Structure 1
Amino acid sequence: MRLRRSRCLTCYWHEGAFVVHPHPHGTSMELHPAAAEILTAFDEWSTPDEAAGRLGHLTPDTIEEAVAALVDAGALLAQGSTAARRDELIAGQWGAWMPEASFFHYATSDVYDGHPAGDAPAPPDGEAGDPAGAEAPAGPLPPLFTSHPAAPRVLLPRRPAELRTPLGEVLYDRRTHRDFTGAPVSLDTLAALLAAVFGPVDFIDCGRGALYRRTSPQGGSRQEIDAYVGVLGVSGLSPGWYHYNGLLHALELLSEGFTPQDAAHLCADQSWAARPAFFVVLAARLERMSVKYPTPRAYRVCLLDAGHLGQTFALTATALGLGPAQTGAFRDSAVAGRCGLDNTGHTPLYVLAAGHPEPEARDAPPPAGVAAFEATTLVAP
């Protein structure tokens, strides 16, 4: 039998043990660190005897025992097997993103397998369905709102947003903008946008205390996403970085000074990022989610929650006459530093922006014509 090391394989130390974790097939297994050396001998299809020839300092019994364990775990795959064919297919599909993305996706998949229908995890507070698997043990809940009490505060106007534009019009007018006029956004408009997207709508009793809901769906109503605002051109506000305190409807000044050049640098040197009037960094406070959901799948929910807020931001900005933008390309550590985040339990996930859009966007793509469709495969042959 010829064997090869799985291409979809991650090894790591966890709680003092060396873990071999193939994905999506196989199971994680604690093994002696020598297993890594044995796996190296199976970089290409080999028989156990051929691999043993590359491992002359190990006894045949040690190799035989290790090979059996690695085959059983799915870390070594038999040539021609279904698992080997799927391993090659996944490696081809995920290749550019391996090992980080494929491991996270598959290692957090199928967390509900093994739960009988009557023994499934309980639904999360305030939402239907369970986004993250088994619940964490009961313990003290973290604060619902983030606050910087020592920071200078700007109390924002409490005028409700004029969101009277028909929903259909907002949906179809929503576009990502990269060109802005440079005219400042009014403080009223920014305040209305922040309140509509990030402010509390109501409060609910989860059985252990109160939680709040926003206009976006959030897993278990944990509201683990905080909003940090980078101001370039907002009337009545000095350029700088602020935290939006949703409980007080206030901006808390964290650091003074912010330039278009700073903005472009933070957004991975994208030139358009020098032009919006303001930015909003969505940062996850992980303890709010992990205190209820201890499984790693809950991090998927944090990413989805950021996406929900990003879409609500884009639609609300459009309804207010602004041009929204968003990007996942940013310098994580630098952005965390400007927002005063520790980048461990409180870390940036997504960067949003907005400003007054140029009537004629310079970089807008043209409509697709005949030539474009002739060069496009719309359906498989």
Structure 2
Amino acid sequence: MRLRRLKNVTCYWHRGDFVAHAYRGHSPVALHPSTAEILSAFDTWTTPAQAAEVLDHLHPETVVQAAATLLEHGLLAEEGSPEAEGDERLADAWGPWAPEASFFHYATRDVPFETATPELRQHLTREGRPALFSEYPEADRILLPRTPDPRLSAPLEQTLYRRRTHRSFSAQPVSLHDLSVLLRTVFGPAEFIDGFEYGALIRRTSPSGGARQELDAYLAAPNVTGVPAGLYHYNAREHSLELLREGFTHTEAGALCVHQEGIDQAAFIVFVVAAWERMRAKYRHPRAYRVSHLNAGHLGQTFALTATTLGLGPFQTAAFDDTAVEGHFGLDSATHNTLYALAAGHPTPDTTTDTAGLNAFRHTTLRPRTTGTA
């Protein structure tokens, strides 16, 4: 019987234990650290006896017994087995995304969903629980206008089909009014709802898992009327901009967002930042990390539609230098992380987009290839 170590297995230290996790259909298992050496002997198809020859400093029976245990825990696979074939398919399917993306995806699948325990309810209602809002009380601030805007009454269908991603902007600054309407509509509280034992919770115009509202808006504003160029935090509770650093240029915007097209022309960039404790306080399983990214996507869509309604050109990107962005805003990258960048400005006249014709579709795969005959 020849065995091989699974390609889709991740090993790590956690709370003093050496853990091996074959992450498709298996649970993590704590092992002695020396097990890593035995696993390494099965890098290719190998019999336990051949592995024992390589590991000649160990007793052969020890290697054989360890191999049986590792096979039982799904860390080794038998040649020709469904487990081995599935492991190969998984490794091929995820390709350059492995191991980081594939490990996270499969390690957070099929998790148990539990209702809140009395202990958790107590934790979420005691003094010191995560605050509903983030704020910088000592910062200088700009109190934003709350003037309503009739443009938000535009028909939804019209807004949906007008939405475009823009990458070219004029030098015309965005008005303080438009920025204020955009921030309030996307990130401000629409209402406060009764969370019963959890106290008051915030509802925004976008959905948020468990109404945790763990995502905050941090603004880089090089070209907004009435807002000195700088870095700000949007205080959703008081609808204000809290100054974190004076001065910000389009050149800096390009450097933070890997010099992608249009970023050095946008009037402003909103970096969507997760304050993890708000989410983690209620949802303890790492699957909740998926939810925060989904929440960021909801906000990004609302941002794009609102900007479109206001006559601005939006675009969204995940291409930015995480460390540099968080460093600029003075964020602790352990407790706060940037998930998304939302930018806008006054778009230049649209470049005509050619409608796909016969030639384009000749070079397009419309359906998966099939095997065999019809």
What is the TM-score of this pair, normalised by structure 2? 0.94
Are the equivalent residues in 2 in contact too, given 1:3–1:79 (CA < 8 A)?
yes
- Residue in 2 aligned with 1:29? 29
- Residue in 2 aligned with 1:126? none
Instruction: Specify whether residues 180 and 245 from structure 1 end up closer, same or farther in structure 2 by C-alpha distance, changes over 3 A only.
Output: same
Q: Aligned match of 2:211 in 203, 215, 221?
A: 221
- 1:96 paired with 2:96, answer yes
> Which one-letter code corresponds to 1:323 in the other structure?
G
Deviation by residue 1:30-80 (Cα, 9 ceiling, x = unmatched)? 001111111111111111111112111111122122212211111101111
Are the equivalent residues in 2 in contact too, given 1:173–1:318 (CA < 8 A)?
yes
Q: Aligned match of 1:155 in 122, 139, 143?
A: 143
> Which one-letter code corresponds to 2:5 in the other structure?
R
> Which one-letter code corresponds to 1:121 in the other structure?
E
Instruction: Specify whether residues 83 and 136 from structure 1 end up closer, same or farther in structure 2 by C-alpha distance, changes over 3 A only.
Output: farther
- 1:282 paired with 2:272, answer yes
Deviation by residue 1:147-175 (Cα, 9 ceiling, x = unmatched)? 00111010001012330221011111111
Instruction: List runs of 5+ in structure 2 lacking aligned partners.
Output: 370-374
Shift of 1:208: 2.6
- Residue in 2 aligned with 1:187? 176
- Residue in 2 aligned with 1:172? 161
Shift of 1:135: 9.1
- Residue in 1 aligned with 2:122? 138
Instruction: Specify whether residues 135 and 373 from structure 1 end up closer, same or farther in structure 2 by C-alpha distance, changes over 3 A only.
Output: farther
> Which one-letter code corresponds to 1:153 in the other structure?
R
Report the more deviating stretch, 219-228 or 157-166: 157-166
> Which one-letter code corresponds to 1:327 in the other structure?
T
Shift of 1:271: 3.6
- 1:205 paired with 2:194, answer yes
Task: Give matches, 1:114-125, under 5 Å.
Answer: 121-122=114-115
- Residue in 1 aligned with 2:363? 375
Are the equivalent residues in 2 in contact too, given 1:224–1:285 (CA < 8 A)?
yes
Are the equivalent residues in 1 in contact too, given 2:272–2:296 (CA < 8 A)?
yes
- Residue in 2 aligned with 1:62? 62
Shift of 1:365: 5.5
Instruction: Specify whether residues 160 and 134 from structure 1 end up closer, same or farther in structure 2 by C-alpha distance, changes over 3 A only.
Output: farther
Instruction: Give the SS at the match of 1:203.
Output: strand
- Residue in 2 aligned with 1:294? 284
Instruction: Give the SS at the match of 1:21.
Output: strand
Instruction: Give the SS at the match of 2:262.
Output: helix
Are the equivalent residues in 1 in contact too, given 2:203–2:211 (CA < 8 A)?
yes
Instruction: List runs of 5+ in structure 1 lacking aligned partners.
Output: 113-119, 124-132
Deviation by residue 1:107-161 (Cα, 9 ceiling, x = unmatched)? 111003xxxxxxx6238xxxxxxxxx99946313211000001110100010123
Instruction: Give the SS at the match of 1:273.
Output: coil
> Which one-letter code corresponds to 1:159 in the other structure?
T
> Which one-letter code corresponds to 2:296 in the other structure?
A
Are the equivalent residues in 2 in contact too, given 1:3–1:45 (CA < 8 A)?
yes
CA RMSD, Structure 1 to Structure 2 (Å): 1.6
Instruction: Give the SS at the match of 2:147.
Output: coil
- Residue in 2 aligned with 1:308? 298
Are the equivalent residues in 2 in contact too, given 1:204–1:210 (CA < 8 A)?
yes
> Which one-letter code corresponds to 1:202 in the other structure?
E
- Aligned identity (percent) is 54
Report the more deviating stretch, 247-256 or 42-51: 42-51
> Which one-letter code corresponds to 1:19 in the other structure?
V
Instruction: Specify whether residues 134 and 73 from structure 1 end up closer, same or farther in structure 2 by C-alpha distance, changes over 3 A only.
Output: farther
Are the equivalent residues in 2 in contact too, given 1:228–1:280 (CA < 8 A)?
yes
Give the whole-Å Cα distance in 2 for the aligned partners of 1:338 and 1:365: 37
Give the whole-Å Cα distance in 2 for the aligned partners of 1:212 and 1:298: 18
